[in-house]
């Protein structure tokens, strides 16, 4: 095994530095907004020190960051030794981290703009232990060849071990493991991206963002002048108002499309050697790898708009990882026609079933889906009616959509058990189908209020491991009998075997 | 109907819960005392005093008498060979089933009050969740802890 020590690419220093700068932007802005940009370099001025001291501190911090970045790059080495990936860095305090190859769960790649220019990647090494969302080792910038080399070395050693095991078991040599077969499970084209952008909830976020941005500049907008204009506007008639609304929606939509393209451009899912590899991104390319056996549960999410057009999104709850920790849930298919959904899922996880008849909650459970909302709703309505009498009475109308939503939730809810698989279906706003295997369930909990007990219904909540805290799925107000059946399904019944 | 779980929290646990409730009530009464004083000092309307007194009474009644009773009544647990099942809750009765294979570690903990009453809490951790069985007699808690950890080690993942 070679013991060459490798260094990061010098760009690593720049990347670290820029990342540090990003963190500084916010405090910088806050301080200078608070100061009102009254920076003066005239020592005679009374506010000279008040403005120069924060500026000086910032310059100092930036210089320290720069030195830090350079030092980290200067001292950072990694190498392979005794089937371990070894990393060392630090000038005064030396940090060393050794990771055995067979503990490495996945190598995730990320390419920022700087990386793209120089043909580099950022490699994040994840182990089973890195459930707190942080990768064990981050190689900030190395060439693609170096990244391939890491992958090659780790894989080769794993295969060697595997072969040794086989040899010791069977006593004769086995032919070399087949070349890794990789197949594309899912790929998004530009049309899909457009639909994704249009139906995503980020539309709402963008609208909120535009509104927030507008409100920020509110003082610069000449409202009085606008209102005068607006009264003329009204004279022009309804059409122009509608047109203005339409234009602002179009604007919002374009922003949503741009964001979606930047994030999801060239979204590809590849299955290779029992591992899933997901690549995406336009400016910043990201690549995440999940070993198939780390997948804990599958979640099919249909938001109301998408459900109307027969689209769904699929996410996996994975025990490790995600893109460097900020996303614990990994999106497998951001958008897919529901009719075309089951084939790739079946290919990927052949032991799971996808289309089953669900056991529904009983009719008597119907009121339970909206009754609980009245607890907070009635005081709100009473308050509104009291304060803004008589117009506040219109708040009574809220009850209608709440009941309708409740009925919709009732209609969606259901569960199915088949073999070792539990499927829960529920809705808050989006319809969620949660599929989990028995061996992945960490805990199953039934909940029953006094009122539910009287009508013999109960709710159920299942927890699986995902990231640091775990993920849960709930099905509300099922028949108590059904939930008890679910419980005994999870129990291990020796006497029945 | 699923059968009722076998074990309950010892009677002493109820006493400790009442004690906690008493502390709660004391904190609330101090706050309300301050409110009454302020009302007197600034000559605010006198109904504030009545509300404060009512609040102390309600909190006292609920947290010293009612809630501990209900909670104690609902608390049940059972540790079987392949799973742990606990039942708890105040208004919502929750019943949790934890397969033994999923148990990662078991801790017991004991604060000064629990120590005085010779009680301890057990917390059972899986990869995603933590479950607590409170107020067990220290000896029982210790033996239960070692029993769970033995069972968890023996349990095989065969599903």
- Same domain (yes/no): A23, A95: yes
Question: The complex's ipTM?
Answer: 0.88
Q: Is B33 at the interface with chain A, CB within 8 A?
A: no
Among A241, A264, A287, the domain-final residue is: A264
* Tens digit of each residue's pLDDT (9 = 90 or more) over A329-363: 788 898 898 888 888 898 888 889 888 899 999 99
pLDDT confidence bin for A289, thresholds 50/70/90: confident
Q: What are the residues whose beta carbons fall under 8 Å from the beta carbon of A490, sequence distance 6 or more?
A: A438, A441, A444, B83, B97, B99
Total tally of structural domains belonging to chain A: 4
CATH number of B79-154: 3.30.365.10, 1.10.287.3510, 2.30.29.30, 2.102.10.10? 2.30.29.30
pLDDT recorded at residue A202: 63
pLDDT at A171 over 60: no
pLDDT recorded at residue A173: 44
Q: Is A85 part of any domain?
A: yes
CB nearest A449 (choices: B82, B92, B95): B92
* Tens digit of each residue's pLDDT (9 = 90 or more) over A353-411: 888 899 999 999 999 999 888 888 888 888 888 888 888 888 888 889 999 999 999 99
- Same domain (yes/no): A379, A255: no
CB nearest A442 (choices: B2, B126, B157): B126
Q: Is B156 at the interface with chain A, CB within 8 A?
A: no
Tell how many helices (H) and how many strands (E) occur in chain A. 15, 20
Spell out which residues of chain B touch residue A494, defining contact as CB-CB under 8 Å.
81-82
- Same domain (yes/no): A139, A226: no
**DSSP-derived 3-state class of residue A403:** helix
Handedness of CA A33, A37, A40, A41 (dihedral sign): positive
pTM greater than 0.90 (yes/no):
no
Q: Is A298 part of any domain?
A: yes
Say how far apart CA A135 and CA A129 lie, in whole Å.
Answer: 9
Which of A427, A423, A428, A426 lies closest to A486 in space, CA to CA? A423
Tell if the CB–CB gap between A490 and B128 is shorter than 8 Å.
no
pLDDT confidence bin for A176, thresholds 50/70/90: very low
Q: Is A174 part of any domain?
A: no
pLDDT at A69 over 50: yes
Tell if the CB–CB gap between B96 and A450 is shorter than 8 Å.
no
Say how far apart CA A217 and CA A220 lie, in whole Å.
Answer: 5
- Same domain (yes/no): A337, A205: no
Tell if the CB–CB gap between A443 and B157 is shorter than 8 Å.
no
- Same domain (yes/no): A207, A335: no
pLDDT under 50 in chain B at which residues?
159
Residue B80 burial (CB count, 10 A):
13
Min mean pLDDT across A116-125, A230-239, A365-374 is at A230-239
Test the B interface: residue of A445, A456, A486 with most B CBs within 10 Å: A445
- Same domain (yes/no): A354, A371: no
Tell if the CB–CB gap between A491 and B97 is shorter than 8 Å.
yes
Q: What are the residues whose beta carbons fall under 8 Å from the beta carbon of A71, sequence distance 6 or more?
A: A91
- Same domain (yes/no): A102, A159: yes
Query: Nearest residue on chain B to A447, judged by CA atoms?
Result: B94
pLDDT recorded at residue A224: 65
pLDDT at A324 over 60: no
Contact A111, A285 (CB under 8 A): yes
Q: Is A68 part of any domain?
A: yes
Test the A interface: residue of B128, B156, B157 with most A CBs within 10 Å: B128
CA distance A372 to chain B (A): 13
Contact A333, A186 (CB under 8 A): yes
Query: Nearest residue on chain B to A459, judged by CA atoms?
Result: B94
Among A407, A437, A463, the domain-final residue is: A407
Residue A254 burial (CB count, 10 A):
12
CB nearest A491 (choices: B82, B94, B128): B82
CB nearest B129 (choices: A420, A446, A463): A463
CB nearest B127 (choices: A445, A465, A491): A465
pLDDT recorded at residue A496: 47
Record the tokens describing residue A136, joined without a space.
Answer: 């064990």
- Same domain (yes/no): A335, A208: no
Query: Nearest residue on chain A to B86, judged by CA atoms?
Result: A445
CB nearest B82 (choices: A444, A446, A492): A492
- Same domain (yes/no): A131, A242: no
CB nearest A447 (choices: B92, B101, B159): B92
Per-residue pLDDT, averaged over A228-236, amounts to: 64
Omega before B131 cis (within 30°)? no
Paired with A110 in beta bridges are A122, A286
Q: Which domain holds residue A444?
A: 268-361+413-491
- Same domain (yes/no): A338, A197: no
Spell out which residues of chain A touch residue B105, defining contact as CB-CB under 8 Å.
none
CA distance A399 to chain B (A): 25
Range among A57-61, A183-187, A425-429, A464-468 with highest mean pLDDT value:
A425-429
Q: Is A180 part of any domain?
A: no
Q: Could you tell me which residues of chain A have a Cβ less than 8 Å from any Cβ in chain B?
A: 131, 319, 420, 437-439, 441-450, 453, 463-466, 469-471, 484, 487-488, 490-492, 494
Compute the count of residue pairs across chains A and B with CB atoms less than 8 Å apart.
78
* Tens digit of each residue's pLDDT (9 = 90 or more) over A27-58: 777 776 666 556 666 666 666 776 677 778 88
pLDDT confidence bin for A227, thresholds 50/70/90: low
pLDDT at A128 over 80: no
pLDDT recorded at residue A497: 41
- Same domain (yes/no): A316, A383: no
- Same domain (yes/no): A149, A212: no
Q: Is A177 part of any domain?
A: no
Q: Is A179 part of any domain?
A: no
Among A236, A264, A292, the domain-final residue is: A264
Q: Is A469 part of any domain?
A: yes
CA angle, A185 as apex, A182 and A191 as ends, to 5°?
135
Query: Nearest residue on chain A to B131, judged by CA atoms?
Result: A443
């Amino acid at each position: 095994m070679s013991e060459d020590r490798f260094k990061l690419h010098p760009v690593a220093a720049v990347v670290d530095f820029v990342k540090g700068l990003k963190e500084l932007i916010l405090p910088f802005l806050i301080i200078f907004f608070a100061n009102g940009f009254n920076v003066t370099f005239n020592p005679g001025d009374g506010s000279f020190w008040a403005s120069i001291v924060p500026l000086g501190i910032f310059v100092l911090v930036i210089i320290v960051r720069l030195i830090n970045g350079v030092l980290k790059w200067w001292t950072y080495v990694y190498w392979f030794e005794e089937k371990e990936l070894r990393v060392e860095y630090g000038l005064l305090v030396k940090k060393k981290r050794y990771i055995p190859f067979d503990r490495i769960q996945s190598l995730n790649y990320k390419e920022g703009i700087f990386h793209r220019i120089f043909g580099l990647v950022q490699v994040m090494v994840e182990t089973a232990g890195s459930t707190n969302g942080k990768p064990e080792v981050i190689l900030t910038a190395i060439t693609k060849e170096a990244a391939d080399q890491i992958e090659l070395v780790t894989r080769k050693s794993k295969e060697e071990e595997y072969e040794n095991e086989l040899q010791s078991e069977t006593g004769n040599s086995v032919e070399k493991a087949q070349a890794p077969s990789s197949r594309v499970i899912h790929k998004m084209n530009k049309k899909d991206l457009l639909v994704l952008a249009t139906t995503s909830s980020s539309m709402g976020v963008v609208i909120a963002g535009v509104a927030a941005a507008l409100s920020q500049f509110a003082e610069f907008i000449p409202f009085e002048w606008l209102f005068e204009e607006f009264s003329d506007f009204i004279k022009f008639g309804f059409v122009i108002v509608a047109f203005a609304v339409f234009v602002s929606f179009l604007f919002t939509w374009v922003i949503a499309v741009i964001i979606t393209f930047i994030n999801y451009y060239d979204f590809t899912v590849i299955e290779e050697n029992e591992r899933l590899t997901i690549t995406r991104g336009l400016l910043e390319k990201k690549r995440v790898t999940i070993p198939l056996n780390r997948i804990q549960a599958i979640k099919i999410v249909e938001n109301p708009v998408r459900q109307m057009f027969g689209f769904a999104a699929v996410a996996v709850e994975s025990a490790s990882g995600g893109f460097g920790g900020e996303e614990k849930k990994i999106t497998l298919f951001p958008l897919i026609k529901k009719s075309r959904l089951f084939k790739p899922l079946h290919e990927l996880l052949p032991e799971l079933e996808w289309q089953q008849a669900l056991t529904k909650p009983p009719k008597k459970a119907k009121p339970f889906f909206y009754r609980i909302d009245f607890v907070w709703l009635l005081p709100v309505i009473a308050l509104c009616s009291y304060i803004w009498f008589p117009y506040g009475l219109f708040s009574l109308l809220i009850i209608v959509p709440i009941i309708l939503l409740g009925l919709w939730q009732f209609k969606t809810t259901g569960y199915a058990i088949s073999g070792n698989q539990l499927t829960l279906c529920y809705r808050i706003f989006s319809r969620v189908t949660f599929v989990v295997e028995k061996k992945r369930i960490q805990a199953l909990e039934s909940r029953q209020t006094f009122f539910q007990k009287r009508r013999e219904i109960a709710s159920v909540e299942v927890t699986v491991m995902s990231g640091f805290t775990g993920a849960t799925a709930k099905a509300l107000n099922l028949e108590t009998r059904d939930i008890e059946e679910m419980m005994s399904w999870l129990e291990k019944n020796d006497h029945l075997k | 109907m699923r059968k009722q779980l076998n074990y309950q929290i010892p009677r002493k646990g109820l006493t400790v819960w009442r004690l906690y409730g008493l502390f709660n009530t004391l904190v609330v009464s101090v706050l309300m005392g301050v409110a009454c004083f302020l009302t007197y000092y600034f000559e605010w309307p006198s109904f504030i005093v009545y509300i404060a007194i009512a609040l102390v009474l309600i909190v006292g009644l609920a947290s010293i008498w009612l809630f501990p009773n209900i909670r104690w009544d609902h608390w049940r647990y059972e540790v079987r060979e392949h799973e742990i099942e606990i039942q708890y809750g105040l208004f919502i009765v929750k019943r949790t089933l934890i397969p033994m294979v999923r148990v990662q570690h078991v801790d017991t903990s004991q604060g000064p009050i629990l120590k005085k009453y010779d009680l301890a809490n057990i917390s059972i951790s899986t990869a995603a969740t933590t479950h607590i069985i409170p107020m067990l007699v220290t000896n029982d808690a210790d033996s239960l802890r070692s029993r769970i950890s033995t069972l968890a080690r023996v349990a095989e993942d065969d599903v």
